[in-house]
Chains A and B, each alone.
Chain A
Amino acid sequence: MTTDMRVIEITGTAIPLRGNDIDTDRVIPARYLRAVTFDGLGEHVFEDDRKAMGGAHPFDNPRYAGASVLVVNNNFGSGSSREHAPQALLRWGIEAVVGKSFAEIFFGNCYTLGIVCAVVSSDDAAEIQNAVEADPAIEFTVDVDGCVLRSGSRQWPLSIPEAVRDGLVSGTWDAIGELVGNPAEVRRVHDSLPYVRGFGAD
């Protein structure tokens, strides 16, 4: 495996999605969990919201086509643990999500896929959304290592937990290698647990 897994910076256009508490049922409705693979999820991202808005949803707006940075508000990705949500975003083309806050399971699922979730202030989120709406062609750089979002001469500070930033930058965000790499150590913990030992039963 020589694939470069490092996520150091992401450059591309952005797509604004306004609203708090956008849950993962809205990102990808449960009927798209009726499959044994994640293939084809990208085209169904936000499907019901898009239908309800009759083409006015940002994900239907051709001006935002090809965007790689999603700009959201508060508590994005709440609710269901379905990894289908970040998988759908990733397959649509999203590589980084910038917003005021993220639900915890969603944040963790993004990390295991190498998708950056970076926190900005409420005011900055609104300012970035305004900037993108005013000119969807402007390019952004999510500088993961430097924890800053840049566009032209403007920049906004990003908050990314240190462990997550290190994992992304060093390309070790996929934990599987680390987790399967020390089986004897894991076995020792397993063997020490009273409930594994049957509480002294023969």
Chain B
Amino acid sequence: MGKTLLEKVWDLHTVRELPSGQTQLFMGLHLVHEVTSPQAFQMLRERDLSVRYPERTFATADHIIPTDSRRRPYADAMAEEMFVHIERNSVDFGLEFFDESTGRQGIVHVIGPELGLTQPGMTIACGDSHTSTHGAFGAVAIGIGTSQIRDVLASGCLAIDPLKVRRIDVSGSLGRGVYAKDVILHIIGHLGVHGGVGYAYEYGGDVFDAFSMEERMTVCNMSIEGGARVGYVNPDQTTYDYIRGREFAPKGAAFDRAVEWWETMKSDADADYDSLVEIDGADIEPMVTWGINPGQVAGVGEKLPDPDSLEGAQRASVEEALAFMKLQPGAAIAETPIDVAFIGSCTNSRISDLREAAKVAAGGRVAKNVKALVVPGSQQVLKQAEAEGLHETFLAAGFEWRQAGCSMCLAMNPDKLVGDQICASSSNRNFKGRQGSPTGRTLLMSPAMVAAAALAGEVVDVRTVSRPTA
């Protein structure tokens, strides 16, 4: 019987079984950001511990930093204080810190891949649940809490329970106007927001074979929204072509040997899965969430559920969601008016996302009364977008063009919804209060759909407005 990539990576990185029965797993890459790490560094100081593998640990600032003015000190005193902490902790503990002066700052899950730090066969930890993003490269990437950040800093290791593997096969091809974001929203709608608890999701099939790395990242990113802490795609030529030439990628002959090794880490053809799910790509529509978790999602042409047709806990969940969202049972999600449009986040802020959104925005005008912003995922994405003139397209259409960061995905900085504003968002969570206002409402969708909604002032099917794309 063959092995899955998860099993191979797990075996390779296992130090031992702990007395508790958990695995002591070595982490090949540790990414650190300013918001979940300060307490972890403080714990190291209190215990007089150092960072064991500083050369495998990299820091950036993304969550709290402003995306408008970057003049220091930041206008937001708390942002300034948290930034100073990550800056000082990086110096004190000997970590490389990608701040703005390096030109490599950005959302931690955008910069890991773009710098070539993220590679197949690795274990990767980061104090952020969207660490699953890095699984797009065939890495086992695990989101952790602050005490576990302390553990990884101090020891290079994580204490963790083994995971089962569910293979999710998406066959055929996607229709026009259907994106990676729609694929993962469809999967979460199908398997539920806790369907993945205890599993790593292995994505594959024709649709993933054809996907770019950025599309694979979008899907893996939201694995956690389906309850799966880890999501991955087996590496292939697309993966290797993406990595080649990047700053931290192996060079020359070493790269060829790396590819040879990466090939051996793929799941074997006769690997045994704990669960198998098959989805036909042709069944996937452009998706929009209508509720307060990412599993409350429908095709843009579908109608909202009617609680009267449901029972028990399901009925209560739908009632709660529709009441919070101020949406009518049985209504269409299309034509729902919006107040804000947000293109950004570790799910959808990469160059291909901005290109798709710009195609829709080109020549149009953001609807009156809609505030629209585009927040590139990293300084490098920003630079590339500006080189292509995408910022001019967005600005001409009435979008704001911001500096790189997490921004309105979790609204820790001044980018927030106000009151019960409703936001078409390319981010990953539609939880109550997620975008900074306790009564603010979020409709998750692809960046192209967000751009279309920004122009129309309401939710629209991007297939009816966009130029033919993919």
Contacts and interface: CB of A to CB of B under 8 A. Distances in A.
Interface stretch (A56-64, A133-141, A143-151, A161-169): A161-169
A153 interface: no
B28 to A, nearest CB: 6
B194 A101 contact: yes
Contacts of B293: 21, 23, 78
B452 interface: no
A84 B293 CA distance: 20
A75 B197 contact: yes
B20 A78 contact: no
A107 to B, nearest CB: 9
A33 B155 CA distance: 25
A201 B35 contact: no
Nearest to B142: A105
Interface stretch (B9-17, B102-110, B333-341): B9-17
Contacts of A74: 194, 313
A23 B431 contact: yes
A105 B229 contact: yes
Nearest to B38: A36
A79 B161 contact: no
Given A34-B64, A166-B20, A179-B151, A195 B159 contact: no
Contacts of A189: 13-15, 26
A160 to B, nearest CB: 12
Interface stretch (B374-382, B390-398, B433-441): B433-441
Nearest to A201: B254
Contacts of A182: 15-16, 24
A49 B412 contact: no
Contact of A105 (B129, B250, B253): B129
A178 interface: yes
B160 interface: yes
B431 A176 contact: no
Interface in B195-226: 197-198, 224-225
Interface of B: 12-16, 18-22, 24, 26, 28, 35-36, 38-39, 42, 47, 49, 52-53, 56, 63-64, 78-79, 81-82, 85, 119, 121-122, 127-129, 131, 143-148, 150-151, 154-161, 193-194, 197-198, 224-225, 227, 229, 250-255, 257-258, 261, 293, 295, 313, 316-317, 320, 410-412, 429, 431-434, 436, 438-439
Given A81-B128, A186-B52, 8 more contacts: A30-B411, A36-B81, A78-B194, A80-B410, A109-B147, A112-B147, A175-B20, A201-B251
